[in-house]
Amino acid sequence: MSLYLDSAASAPPTPDVIARMAEVERDLPANPSSAHQVGQRAARAIERTRGQLATHLSCEPDQVVFTGGATEANNLAIQGALKAAQRAASAGLHPRLAPGARPHVVASAVEHPSVRGLLRALAERRALDVDWLPVDREGRALPEELHRLLRPETVLVSVMHVNNEVGTTQPLARIGKVCRAHRVLFHSDATQSFMKLPTDVDALQVDLLTVGAHKLHGPKGVGALYVRPGVRLEPLIFGGGHEGGLRPGTLNTAAIAGFGAAIDGFTVPEAARVLGVARAMRAALLARFPGLQLWSPDPGGVGTILAVGLPPEAEGAPRRASQVAAALSRHGVQVSASAACCAGAEEISHVHAAMGLREEQARATLRISVGRGNTSDDVPRLIAALEQALDGPAGGRRLA
């Protein structure tokens, strides 16, 4: 039986999620905007999940906008805020941006590609200027550096809550305090932290916050964006007036209901159990492999993501995590040699580079991530498989 340790890439839907989606797809096939009885029942299923999200974000339900995933929510937050800022500036109504000025954005140097890639593309088109907030050796953004980067034209700061490659938790409240003082909007991608860490939007001092379902054992293709009252966004696509006009298109009732089922299942005791499995795995790895390094902080991280720096070979040659991950897969253990969104890239991870890892260290780093399907029985299975993967096949050949 395969051992799945890649939940940070996508956490497999639980049986409850699958059953709930099948039930809704079967019994509530109507458009949730329809006025008839089945349509209204579908709408109520959607509003139930919206209410669940609002409860865990400590906001009102009408402040939650459903999207087709976290990547779309990140794009709506950033592009929507930029377009709204430029519209306000052209009317002389923006508190920072002058009419005709190019907006400026600050984002952490370790952002998810859906943020980093978007900002780089817009900067290449000269649609904005962007600066990258540096991080420390654990991948934690430095709030004290934000003051230096802010400009009169800065309209938005974007810093993820938990890094998807190393699991480091970012000091959002400190960054948000700086943003509030300068009247700059603050966005955070909380896809990896939602339901695993507290995500009270007031405590975190965010104006916009992204969550997604499939990192939580929900379905792929559904996410949500929290929008603080008074924050203006422009839609990215146009059609009907769905989701307050911000995200037109018929809502995916079954996926949204599945998102709700995933939230139901990720209880506080269950989250604690999963974290306990991850910590046992961490301790076992360090005990069994003395030359191994863990780039993921604990405390100071989400705990369920382990960025594992593999020890060099006996001859001193550095390991290649991609080869070790392939060997582990042959032994029935599924992990990542990089974030799934960066798989196949020739360059080393921008996260590892920002943390100051050398190239050979970055290329020797595996990501192991624990989810609800894992138990304490998986710890010795991982250790045994990694021993075999590092030793290589029979005959003594080692992985380079």
Active centre residues (catalytic): 341
Task: Spell 165-203 as b/e; 16+ CB within 10 A means b.
Answer: bbbbbbebeebbebbeebebbbbbbbbbbbbbbebebee
Query: What tokens appear for 1 in the block?
Result: 């039986």
Length reported for the chain:
400
Q: How far is CA 374 from CA 69, 214, 255, 331, in A?
A: 25, 16, 24, 17
Q: Let me know: does 361 contact 319? Beta carbons within 8 Å.
A: no
**Contact status, residue 181 vs residue 209, Cβ threshold 8 Å:** no
How many Cα atoms sit within 13 Å of 178 on the Cβ side?
22
Distance CA 67, CA 211 (A): 10
Phi, psi (rounded to 5 degrees) for 326: -65, -40
How many other C-beta atoms lie within 10 A of the C-beta of residue 144?
9
| CA distance to 247, 277, 282, 379, per residue, from 325 (Å) | 39, 20, 17, 17
DSSP class per residue in 383-396 = HHHHHHHHH-STTS
**Alpha carbons 335 and 5: distance in angstroms, whole number:** 5
Question: Does the N-terminal peptide bond of residue 299 adopt cis geometry, omega within 30 degrees of 0?
Answer: yes
Handedness of CA 392, 393, 394, 398 (dihedral sign): negative
Q: How far apart are CA 49 and CA 62, in angstroms?
A: 12
What is the C-alpha separation between 277 and 272, in angstroms, rounded? 9
CA nearest to 322, candidates 349, 286, 293: 349
Greatest C-alpha distance within the chain:
74
Look at residues 247, 389, 277 and name the one whose alpha carbon lies nearest to residue 332: 389
Beta-carbon count within 10 A of 384 CB:
13
